[in-house]
Each structure stands twice: as C-alpha cells, then as structure tokens.
Amino acid sequence: MSARTLTLVALSLMLGLGAAWMANNWLSARLNASPDDNLQNVVVATVEIPFGQMVEAQHVTVVRMPKGTAPDDAFDATDKVVGKIATFTMLRGDIVRGARLAEHLGGSTLASLIEANKRAVSVRVDDVVGVGGFLLPGNRVDVLATRKVGNNSDAEAKTILEDLRVLAVDQTASTDKTQPVVVRAVTLEMTSEEAEVLVKAQTEGRLQLALRNPLNDQKKPEVVAKPVVAAPAPAPLVKALKPAVRRGGDGGGVTIIRGTAVEVSKVQL
C-alpha cells in the first residue's frame, strides 16, 4: 500500500472520529439543556394551608413544571411566600398564587385578611344567631334584622346585608374543623356603609345570621317601585242625545222627544 493511500485512510478516520465526537457533544448538550430551557420552578403546598394561616417553610416546596403551565402570579422560590397569610384555603399540591396570599404588615393576622376599603365588625351571637355553630372562617352569610313595629307586639324581619365573608369566629381566624362549634362572636367583613347599617340594626332589634351556599354569589335584585299612573276616564258609551223637536201637523202643539220620553207641549198661537 502506497504512502498516499495510507494518508487518505488516516485522514478519513480522523474526519470520521471528529464528526462523531462533534455529533455526540451536540446531542448531549441538547439533552442536558432541554429540561432547563422548558421547565420552571413553581412553589406548591405540601400540606393543607387553612384560611388565615401564616405560611411557614415546611408548608411549601418547589417543583419543576413546563413553562406556560403555571399561573402568572405563581412563585419560584419558597422564601417569597413564607410569612404571608393565606386568604383562601389551599390543599396539598395546590400552586401557591399571589392572589391567595396577603402581606403580613404587623399586628394581628386578621388585619391582613381584610380587603382594601373594607372593615371588620364583630357581632355577638349565640347558638341560634350563629347558625347552630356551623359558621367557620371563610363562610359567607346574610344578616337579617328583626324589630318591633309601633307600640304593639308585632315585629318585622328584613334582610339588611348580603354575602358577607366571615373573617373569624371568636378569636380564631383559621380552623380546619368541620364540626359545629358554639361561639360568642363572629367577625364579618364589610364596607364602612354596611357597618353603619349593621350597628344601627343592633340598637333597634335582634340580628340573625343566615349561612349561604358557597356557590351562591348573587344578591337579590333591588325592586324599584314604578310610578302609578292614573288610567284615563273611559269614554261614555252613549253620547248625550239632544232633544228632538217635532211640530204637530195641526200646529196646535210641539212634541219634545228626550231619549225614550215624549213630551207634548201646547203652544198658544
């Protein structure tokens, strides 16, 4: 075999090995880089986090999820959620979202649960007013007011407030209990105008809470009284008949006809 042939064979082997090495490196880079390029860190709950609970480090963890599958307000690190207050109950495996958390800016955790421009007002209750003890934080209720009418013993009941969120029962803003618990006070979330209506109703009579279905988020439509318009007077069925005058053929009298009555008058000639 000539030297030229050996040179060509050696060059072919070197080029083949180089191509194989480059292909292997490119394929390995693609396989190793693909997960990092298509996945993102997402914080999820490792245990159930009740409404009003402060999130702790052992409550959450980070998992890898494909990009575009997590909500826009999801978190990518646990230190961004630790210390916040859960405004909704989160189950194990739920993605921790910013819309379900509130900043704890000091003081009680209850203050962090109140929405902007709203207030927390406590109502004294018993086992009846508190719906048999079935009220829990996160439930929604209507408020009915009963007051006496006039000086008699008659009373009237009216729904004065609707769809109010229960922030706390007694001094508990979070609970995982489902059994009824009789409490002495219930704290409700409402606007300042609704708070004025509630306080006034407390001084006038007795209050009663009505537990709402969580799926029923519609309030009763307001009934607007329409102005009463008097109906026009009906047109007379029979027009007034003018008296018909007929002169007698002999010229000795005048016959006056009024409806069915006939009157004959004598006329002096």
Q: Is the pTM of this model over 0.85?
A: no
The whole domain housing 167 covers 116-211
Q: Total domain count for the chain?
A: 2
Burial of 53 (0-12, 13-18, 19+ CB in 10 A): buried
Judgement on whether residues 207 and 141 belong to the same structural domain of the protein:
yes
Judgement on whether residues 127 and 81 belong to the same structural domain of the protein:
no
Q: Domain with 88 in it: what CATH number?
A: 3.90.1210.10
What are residue 163's phi and psi, to 5 degrees? 55, 50
Cβ neighbours for 67, distance < 8 A, ≥ 6 positions apart: 38, 39, 40
List the pLDDT tens digit at each of the 269 positions of the chain: 677 787 887 888 888 888 888 888 777 766 665 556 688 999 999 999 987 788 999 999 999 998 888 899 999 999 999 988 888 889 999 999 998 888 876 666 677 778 878 888 988 887 676 677 778 888 889 998 888 777 766 778 888 999 998 888 876 665 555 566 677 888 899 999 999 999 998 888 888 888 888 777 665 554 444 554 555 555 555 455 555 555 555 555 566 666 556 555 554 54
Look at residues 211, 246, 261 and tell me which one is the last residue of a structural domain: 211
Judgement on whether residues 96 and 134 belong to the same structural domain of the protein:
no
Judgement on whether residues 120 and 83 belong to the same structural domain of the protein:
no
